[in-house]
Structure 1
Amino acid sequence: MLSHHSKWIQSLTADFLKSHCKSVRGTKQAHALLLRTHLFCDNLFASKLISFLASNSGDILYASRIFAQIHSPDTYICNTMIRGFAKSHTPSESISLYYYMVRCGVPCDHFTHPFVLTACARLREVRLGPRFHSEVLKNGLEPDLFVANALIQFYGSCGWVGDACQVFDRSPVRDVVTWNVMINGYVERGLYEQAFGLYEEMLKLDCIQPDGVTLISLVSACTQMGDLNRGKWFHSCSKELGLDKNLTVGNAILDMYIKCGDLELAREVFLGMDERDVLTWTSMLMGLTSLGHFQESLDLFRRMQFEKIQLDEITLVSVLTACAQTGALDQGKYVHLLIDRYNMKRDIVLETALVDMYAKCGKIDLALQVFDKIRVRNVFTWNAMIGGLAMHGHGKEAIALFDRMKHDQVMPDHVTFIALLCACSHAGLVEKGFEMFRTMKEVIRLEPRMEHYGCMVDMLCRAGLINDALNFIETMPIEANSVVWAILLRACRMGGHFELAQRVGRRVIELEPDSCGRYVMLASVYAGLSQWDDASKIRNLMKRQGIEKIPGCSWMEFNGTIHQFVAGDKSHLLVKEIYAMIEEMTQRVSLDGGHAPAPPDVPFDIADEEKEYSVLLHSERLAVAFGLISTPPGSPIRIAKNLRVCNDCHSFLKVVSRIYNREIIARDRSRFHHFRLQLDPKRLSARINNDQNDL
């Protein structure tokens, strides 16, 4: 029995609970106080403990232990526990607690059923939902706004949009939440037009105004549909409603523009945002990477660090992808350092991105180090490593790694066999290539795609088996596309099969009339035959159709900055020094005698000397010249190019590497070209065949 100071004690206790029930530790102290003062039996005080512990910041298990000690819990306490369990990792406890209420005669109110329905939705317990709906009807609670919203939410999340619509239509009172839940139900089921129609109905009402949740759902629908025009309209609506400054709405609009491919408007939204969170920065960075603006993506990453934006694994995967595409090895190594320094969660996606980055930046040995340390690998990890070995010309090692992949019982996919066939193609392993092709079809039961047939044609062409390649194309079970014919065209041109090249070239242009590369290749065939009129006709046809030749472009990373060069480029700050080095390189290579210039098939009737000069200014030579004047003697030079390295440049750079005692690693769109220094094949094979993680 309380003393005459009980009211004073109750007042102090209430203040103590208010100040302490903000953390689990403080709530435990409050619990102890209630036990000492014998106030725990008062549901008003016990409910304060339950309220915090059943919240997202509390401890639901501790809350359940306290609940078990309460002799006669009231409706509020039971509802609080049901809501807590509904949001926890054990939502089924909410349903058990509801039946406990019914057995104990604790009255249910209009809050009880919505919390139970939330638990049913999370559990996807479709059968239980209608049972609780019938109890709602029995108790006359369906007209209640909170209950109606919960029913619509339940049916919508379980995919019963028709039932959700019935509850929505019968509801006598609707607020913005009611409309939002119904719109979101349509969006989640892919019924976008119904969602847009409901929004138009909503706009006709004077008493209801759309909020941020409304627009996020509708903008998300535009994103999933790829409907840029409608997305722009909802962006305008957000401005009219004064919601465009809402961070979550802004993030949704930014994501919509990026995924719909309008980078310019995405930039405008990003730069116009008053507030940005990590999601904003990550969305913009991922968008730049996915749309091919790799240098801008890396610039944004540096800005994120300057502004101390917290990095996460998703951000770093995008940065590593940009590094891989531009050959930015130093930046990639820096990201790897950040991962280790901040002990970031190295999930399989991030680990695979590291493997891919090192492989595509020319460091196949570092790619293997990362790969060997990964404890659990999926098919994407294996594909990245096998593809990396293939790009570097290590065909036998790629096949050996595939054997390890089978030993680890990882099922290969279509990408695996593209990498393996490329490996066989680059290494000249024709018989092994056909063996892999048969394995894919007959053992793994994967139906070959056009890419696989293209790899087989490329393999035959590289081996000089032009007639076999033509026969392979003509007997394919699917009709060859322009890419497959273009592979044969290139081989015909390089091998001097000009008659077949003309026929194939015309076929390629018929299949892909908008590709500049196809016209240039056919014009080069005519130039090789000195048929200047025909070459001129092809170029005039390109002009009439408004097709422009894609300029050769090369990149080189120096001091964390990507330097870009195009053929004949004079825009670089060190242009005088670069051109002076080009002249020096040319003279020294000429004196060496190890390179016999092969005038390219320029489709113009000009002197060989002029053709030679045009090759001197190819972008890869400019990039290597910059590397020679800007990096320390003896250090490697790494460049990347958007097109194939021509034969003349390949021969030229091979001699440059030897004369200047430099390792030159050039990556073009199909593979790596290593000059002078290579990873020891014996050591590489030993590494791949070693199943032990000994690094």
Structure 2
Amino acid sequence: MMLTIRVPDLLSKLQQLSSVKEVEQTQCLITKSGLFNHPFVISKIISFLSLSPLGSLVYAQAIFEDTAMDNPFVCNTMIRAYAKSVFPIKAIYLYNFMHRKDIKSDHFTYPFGLKACARVLWCNEGDIKCTQLDIACKGAEIHCRLFRLGLDQDCFIQNSLVYLYSQCGFLDLARCVFDEMTEKTITSWNVMISAYDQINDFDSADSLIGSMPGKNVVSWNMLIARYIRLGKIEDAKVVFQEMPERDAVSWNSMIAGYVQIKDYARALALFREMEIANVEATDITLISVLGACAETGALEIGRKIHLSLKQREYKIEGYLSNALVDMYAKCGHLNLAWEVFSELKMKHISCWNAMIVSLAVHGYCEEALRLFSTMEMSVDGARPNRVTFIGVLIACSHKGLVDEGRTFFNRMVNEYKIMPDIKHYGCMVDLLSRCGLLKEAHHMIKTMPFEASKILANLIVMGSGILARALVQAYRQALANASKSGVAQETIQNTVRRGSKAMMEQEARQILGVTEQSTWEEILQKYDTLFERNAKNGSFYLQSKVHRAKECLEAVHQGNSQGTPS
């Protein structure tokens, strides 16, 4: 028996949707009433699921593919959703599909398609490797189509073109579109100024700022972003404090700036100020704050954020889910990291990487390798990248799996066409050396396309002091045979010494929360407190980090005590 329901009543119900659960209940009602194929009803459901923070892009995609792939309005909605997700390439696929199937596009289709093109550049991963030229060509193709359709003078579209060309490095084309605009909005000016700022052409940026008819909060935010990019955090702070009004972007920029310079305490303090000011945190805010929590062991703040998201039924995906996984793992709660990871419907490669690396670093090597195998067989289309193989090689190193390590290293190069960087070589040298294969480790260092000093410094960065000393030993033996050991040994020892000092001293003080004026007793007291707290949390990562910081400052203290320069 078919349930009777009036369309106006149904639309009213759709306007009030606030969770995926409500969508499921409403979908049952719609199906029973025979209105599930009603175009407007479908578009409302997909709009909520794909665009709302409380929705689900996976659910939206399933309904879209079943019912509405020929609906232009819904296609636009899905392109828009994909464009702002961690899967922007899907927006371009859908845009291409629309034109292959002659589905009518309009002035809403193109800005989202152009935005997707720009975002693909910094979401380049796995199989998808688009260069700036590739994306610029796609943008030019869309630009030509817009010209033929007479939509090239649409202000919204022109802003998108300026942004795309500037992101691809074609500033002349971006400026050409900007200069030809008959009506420039605040957004138009801000996009063009930001483009000059990104390439450090401050004269052109300041010239445009001087010509700008009306400045707003976005203009101030660009100044903050400029100073942060140049490493002038105090100048950014002055602008932040003096600007007439602030929005979420203003707060986000400052918090991210402090995280960037590893001043996590100030980042967390500013986040608390943001909450007091009743400014709603965005995904970008939370990603930065969770990163600070991960590096300082501020588990309670991280858990509070996660609980708040769950209570609001907020859509946790993409980089936000990565940040949660990383935070829980570094704070020693791998079970909670796994819970977040397992609940993800669509897993981006960065999500897989976060979990694989976390398992490997904490000694769950077999689990990390099993997860890698699961990822290779997954339907998400996730393809291993550089970071994935770092996690896999760390797992092999900790477990002493020499044959498996060699196999993964060769697969990375031959099967996945990924050229190893210094971190991959560092992992392999670590693995070989831990297993006593110092000659093979030495041979790998001699044949790799990097200087030996860099790999030794990199091992210090990775906290492998014992390994670095073992490699120095191997070098001494090999070079002694060639009667060249004296100078070479001194060079290697100096490299290790410089690597340790350059890497650690300033960072060590930040990790322990001490200053250059702190006494050795104060440093020890701070170390004991942090080490004990991280031991209670079960965080091997943070315990190791705190211990290395203490060792570094101990060496500095001993050097000062002996009257030698630190």
TM-score (norm: length of structure 2): 0.59
Q: 1:157 to 1:252 in 2, by over 3 A?
A: farther
Is 1:488–1:504's contact at 8 Å kept on the other side of the alignment?
no
Q: Give the Cα–Cα distance (whole angstroms) in 1 for the partners of residues 311 and 471 of structure 2.
A: 53
3-state SS of 1:353 partner? helix
Cα gap change, 1:232 to 1:548, in 2 (>3 Å)? farther
Note if contact 1:320-1:357 (Cα within 8 Å) is conserved in structure 2.
Answer: yes
In structure 1, the residue matched to 2:361 is 391
Q: Which residue of 1 aligns with 2:240?
A: 270
Q: Shift of residue 564 of structure 1? A: 0.6
Contact 2:294 / 2:328 at 8 angstroms: preserved in 1? Answer: yes
**3-state SS of 1:346 partner:** coil
- Deviation by residue 1:550-589 (Cα, 9 ceiling, x = unmatched): 3462667xxxxxx61368833xxxx9xx65xxxxxxxxxx
Check whether the contact 2:389–2:408 (CA below 8 A) recurs between aligned residues.
Answer: yes
CA distance in structure 1 between the aligned counterparts of 2:298 and 2:373, rounded to whole angstroms: 31
Which of 204, 217, 236 is 2:191 aligned to? 217
2:171 corresponds to which of 169, 174, 192: 192
Q: What is the aligned partner in structure 2 of residue 335 from structure 1?
A: 305
Compared CA separation, residues 194 and 370, structure 1 to 2 (3 A):
closer
Task: Give the structure 1 partner of residue 290 of structure 2.
Answer: 320
Q: Equivalent residue of 2:514, what SS?
A: strand
Report matched runs for 1:17-28 at 5 Å: none
Structure showing the higher helix proportion among its residues: 2
Structure 1 344/475 Cα, relative in aligned 2: closer, same or farther at 3 Å?
same
Q: Does 1:288 align with 2:258?
A: yes
CA 1:251–1:566: 2 relative to 1, 3 Å: closer
Q: Which amino acid aligns with 1:468?
A: E
Report the residue type matching 2:455 in the other structure. V
**1:412 pairs with 2:414:** no
User: Aligned partner of 2:308: which letter?
Assistant: L
Quick one: distance in 2 between partners of 1:201 and 1:443? Answer: 48
Q: Residues 625, 227 of structure 1: CA spacing in aligned structure 2 closer, same or farther, 3 A cutoff?
A: same
Q: Deviations over 1:594-635 (max 9, x none)?
A: xxxxxxxxxxxxxxxxxxxxxxxxx5x443323589x79978
Offset at 1:296? 2.0
By how many angstroms is 1:215 displaced?
2.9
Counterpart position of 2:352: 382
1:142-194: per-residue Cα shift (whole Å, max 9, x none)?
Answer: xxxxxxxxxxxxx9994359979xx99xxxxxxxx999997985564234246
Q: Partner of 1:483 in structure 2?
A: 454
Judge conservation of contact 2:271–2:289 (CA < 8 Å) in 1.
yes
Question: Could you say if the C-alpha distance between residues 196 and 458 of structure 1 is closer, same or farther in structure 2, counting changes exceeding 3 Å?
Answer: same
Please give the secondary structure, in 2, of the residue aligned with 1:641.
Answer: helix
Instruction: Measure, in 2, the Cα distance between the counterparts of 1:460 and 1:632.
Output: 30
Alignment of structure 1 residues 576-655 onto 2, 5 Å: 621-627=524-530, 639=543, 641=545, 644=548
> Structure 2 matches for 1:509-524, cutoff 5 A?
518=495, 520=497
Identity of aligned residues (%): 28
Q: In structure 1, give the amino acid aligned to 2:545.
A: K
Higher gyration radius (CA): 1
Q: Cα offset for 1:427?
A: 2.8
Match of 1:310 in 2: 280
What is residue 518 of structure 2 aligned with on the other side? 569
Aligned partners of 1:266 and 1:340: how far apart in 2? Answer: 33
Give me the whole-angstrom Cα distance separating, in 1, the residues matched to 2:407 and 2:458.
21
Cα distance change on mapping 1:395 and 1:568 into 2, 3 Å: farther
Residues 387, 569 of structure 1: alpha-carbon distance in 2 compared, 3 angstrom cutoff: same
Match of 2:401 in 1: 429
Change (3 A) 1:122 1:314: closer
Aligned position for 1:439:
411
Residue 484 of structure 1 aligns to which amino acid in structure 2?
A: I
Contact 2:531–2:546 (8 Å) recurs in 1? no
* Separation of aligned partners in 1, 2:188 and 2:428: 52
User: What is the aligned partner in structure 2 of residue 493 from structure 1?
Assistant: 469
- Superposed, which structure 2 residues align to 1:144-293 within 5 Å? 158-160=142-144, 188-190=164-166, 191-193=170-172, 212-228=186-202, 230-232=204-206, 234-235=208-209, 243-244=214-215, 246-259=216-229, 261-293=231-263
Shift of 1:419: 0.7
Distance 2:442 2:398 in 1: 19
Aligned residue in 2 for 1:550: 505
Instruction: Say whether the 8 Å CA contact 1:469–1:488 is kept in structure 2.
Output: no
Which residue number in structure 2 is paired with residue 454 of structure 1?
426
Structure 2 gap segments, 5+ residues each: 1-10, 13-43, 45-71, 78-104, 115-138, 555-566
The verdict on how the C-alpha distance between 1:379 and 1:186 changes in structure 2, with shifts beyond 3 A counting, is closer
**What runs of 5+ residues in structure 1 fail to find an aligned partner?**
1-23, 26-58, 60-86, 93-115, 126-154, 169-176, 203-207, 525-541, 557-562, 580-618, 651-695
Matched, 1:464 2:443: no
Shift of residue 430, structure 1, vs aligned partner: 2.1
CA distance in 1 between counterparts of 2:248 and 2:434 reads 48
CA distance in 1, matches of 2:370, 2:403: 16
CA contact (8 A) 1:354 1:370 kept: yes
Name the CA distance, whole Å, in 1 between partners of 2:552 and 2:296: 23
C-alpha contact 1:414 1:446 (8 A) present in aligned 2: yes
Displacement of 1:272 in angstroms is 1.8
| Per-residue deviation, residues 253-312 of structure 1 (Å, max 9, x unmatched) | 434444454433332322222112223322333333344333222111111111111123
Q: Is the 8 A contact 1:228 1:257 kept in 2?
A: no
8 Å contact kept, 2:505–2:552: no
Match of 1:345 among 304, 312, 315: 315
State how far apart, in whole Å, the 2-side matches of 1:255 and 1:649 are. 33
Number of equivalences: 419
> Residues 198 and 378 of structure 1: is their aligned pair in 2 closer, same or farther, counting only changes over 3 Å?
closer
State the secondary structure of the residue aligned to 1:159: helix
Amino acid at match of 1:335: I
Q: Which has the higher contact order (CA 8 A, sep 6+)?
A: 2
Counterpart contact for 2:446–2:452, Cα < 8 Å? no
1:323–1:332 contact (8 Å) kept in structure 2: yes
Report the 3-state secondary structure (helix = DSSP H, G, I; strand = E; otherwise coil) of the residue aligned with 1:309: coil
